[in-house]
């Protein structure tokens, strides 16, 4: 087994995993719609650990944007240890996300939530035989996201896609939910068209620091791609909101910096200006967006549905960086695939 073989396969098999997940979610459509969070709950809280916490950040932003219901995200450890600063009065729908379904902090947070009786629990995971998949009032298991690598790629995007589907259905956007079926083909095209581009960037020894910019629902994705760079390649990497990058972090820009923008359509002109600032400071940039960018989706989808397409290119850059440094992205340094506490 060559180093990184599992990770490479998991990155490139994402479109098939998405298609399988969408088929399952379509079968569960009536159940998902029946949850009716806007009329039955005062807030939705999304939670996870590590990658799935960053997924929760993006999911909360998108669900609030589409449904209008108050949505927030917390690490599971915060819900477990600091419930008074996490929950507000009223009935809560807790959405707990975990690849493994057996992360201790997530299980403890869900147990504490259920003990308090302050709402209902929906779980999202990839393994139906693990504890989390049996804890919720509603349990969604997506086996197509299962992985052998420690660093999440296929699991993250598949579970994230499920939260986008939830947002569409809870918002009553049937047309948007139907459009999700286009994403596997778009993902395949991104993987094919930008594999060489991503490999060249990741393997470039001239970069010693990476910054990922994203705002709104894209900020959580910027955090996740930054984490992938750290986990896989042990490289200095940080995420920021687009406009916040001007408020101090830009002082770190040098000719060895690569700033990667997950640019929106709605605020694209202002976000492009941030990338121009980076160039003026001598740094290099990569602009990822629907159109008019270095990496182009050209999907024709509404903005809320495009976000998952940022992931494959960022993942490939991190993977290439890891391989170029002689590391094994399947087994990142000091990490385990599941964090279990005694």
Confidence band, pLDDT 50/70/90 cuts, at residue 340: confident
Examine the fold and report which residue of 179, 202, 233 is the final residue of a domain before the chain moves on: 179
Position 332 in a domain: no
For the segment 109-123, the average pLDDT, to the nearest whole number, is 97
Tell whether 38 and 102 lie within a shared domain: yes
b or e along 163-202 (b: 16 or more beta carbons within 10 Å of the residue's beta carbon)? bbbbbbbbbebeebbebbeebbebbbbbbeebbeebbebb
pLDDT (tens digit, 9 = 90+) per residue, 229-280? 999 999 999 999 999 999 999 999 999 999 999 999 999 999 999 999 999 9
Q: What is the pLDDT of residue 127?
A: 97
pLDDT at 337 over 70: no
For the segment 326-340, the average pLDDT, to the nearest whole number, is 79
DSSP for 20-55? Answer: HHHHHHHHTHHHHHHT-HHHH-SEEEEEESTHHHHH
pLDDT at 341 over 90: no
Tell whether 12 and 141 lie within a shared domain: yes
Tell whether 166 and 204 lie within a shared domain: no
Position 341 in a domain: no
Tell whether 199 and 174 lie within a shared domain: no
Tell whether 166 and 258 lie within a shared domain: no
Tell whether 296 and 198 lie within a shared domain: yes
Q: What is the pLDDT of residue 335?
A: 66
Position 12 in a domain: yes
Q: Cα dihedral angle (134, 137, 141, 147), rounded to 10 degrees? A: -60
Q: What is the pLDDT of residue 3?
A: 85
Q: Which tokens go with 135? A: 């804890």
144: containing domain: 5-179
Q: What is the pLDDT of residue 329?
A: 92
Tell whether 51 and 10 lie within a shared domain: yes
Dist CA 340 CA 101 (whole Å) = 11
Position 268 in a domain: yes
Q: What is the CATH number of the domain that holds 320?
A: 3.40.50.10490
Q: What is the pLDDT of residue 2?
A: 84
Tell whether 205 and 320 lie within a shared domain: yes
For the segment 17-23, the average pLDDT, to the nearest whole number, is 98
Position 40 in a domain: yes
pLDDT (tens digit, 9 = 90+) per residue, 158-213? 999 999 999 999 999 999 999 999 999 999 999 999 999 999 999 999 999 999 99
Tell whether 114 and 221 lie within a shared domain: no
Confidence band, pLDDT 50/70/90 cuts, at residue 4: confident
Q: What is the pLDDT of residue 58?
A: 98
Position 189 in a domain: no
| Percentage of the chain exceeding pLDDT 70 | 98
Position 175 in a domain: yes
Domain count, the chain: 2
Please tell me what DSSP assigns to residue 293: S
Tell whether 174 and 263 lie within a shared domain: no
Confidence band, pLDDT 50/70/90 cuts, at residue 332: confident
Alpha helices, DSSP H, located in 89-153: 104-116
Q: How many residues does the chain have?
A: 342
Position 340 in a domain: no
Q: What is the pLDDT of residue 18?
A: 98
Tell whether 169 and 258 lie within a shared domain: no
Residues 6 or more apart in contact with residue 165 via CB below 8 angstroms: 22, 25, 32, 177, 180
* Mean pLDDT for all residues in the chain: 96
- Residue 43: CB atoms within 10 A of its CB come to 20
pLDDT (tens digit, 9 = 90+) per residue, 46-63? 999 999 999 999 999 999
Q: What is the CA radius of gyration of the chain?
A: 19
């Amino acid at each position: 087994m060559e180093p990184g073989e599992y990770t490479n396969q998991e990155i490139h098999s994402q479109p098939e995993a998405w298609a399988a997940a969408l088929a399952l979610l379509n079968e569960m459509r009536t159940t998902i719609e029946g949850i009716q969070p806007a009329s039955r709950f005062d807030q939705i809280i999304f939670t996870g650990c590590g990658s799935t916490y960053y997924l929760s950040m993006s999911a909360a932003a998108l669900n609030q944007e589409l449904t209008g219901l108050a949505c927030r995200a917390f690490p599971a450890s915060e819900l477990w240890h600091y419930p008074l600063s996490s929950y507000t009065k009223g009935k809560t729908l807790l959405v707990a996300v975990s690849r493994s379904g057996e992360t201790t902090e997530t299980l403890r947070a869900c147990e504490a939530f259920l003990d308090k009786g302050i709402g209902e629990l929906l779980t999202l995971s990839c393994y139906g035989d693990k504890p989390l998949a049996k804890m919720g009032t509603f349990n969604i298991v997506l086996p197509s996201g299962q992985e052998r690598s420690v660093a999440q790629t296929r699991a993250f995007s598949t579970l994230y896609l499920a939260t986008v589907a939830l947002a569409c259905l809870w918002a009553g956007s049937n047309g948007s939910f139907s459009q999700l079926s286009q994403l596997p083909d778009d993902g395949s095209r991104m993987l094919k068209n930008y594999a060489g581009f991503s490999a060249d960037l990741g393997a470039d020894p001239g970069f010693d620091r990476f910054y990922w910019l994203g705002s709104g629902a894209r900020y959580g994705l910027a955090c996740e791609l930054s984490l992938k760079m750290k986990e896989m390649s042990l490289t200095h990497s940080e995420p920021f909101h687009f406009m916040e990058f001007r408020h101090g972090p830009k002082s770190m820009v040098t000719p060895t910096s690569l700033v990667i923008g997950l640019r929106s359509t709605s605020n694209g002109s202002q976000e492009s200006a941030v990338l121009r600032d980076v160039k003026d400071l001598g740094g290099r940039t990569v602009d990822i967006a629907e159109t008019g960018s270095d990496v182009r989706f050209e999907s024709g989808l509404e903005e809320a549905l495009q976000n998952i397409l940022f992931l494959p290119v960022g993942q490939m850059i991190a993977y290439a960086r890891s391989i170029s440094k002689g590391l094994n992205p399947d087994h990142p340094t000091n990490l385990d695939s599941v964090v279990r506490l005694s």
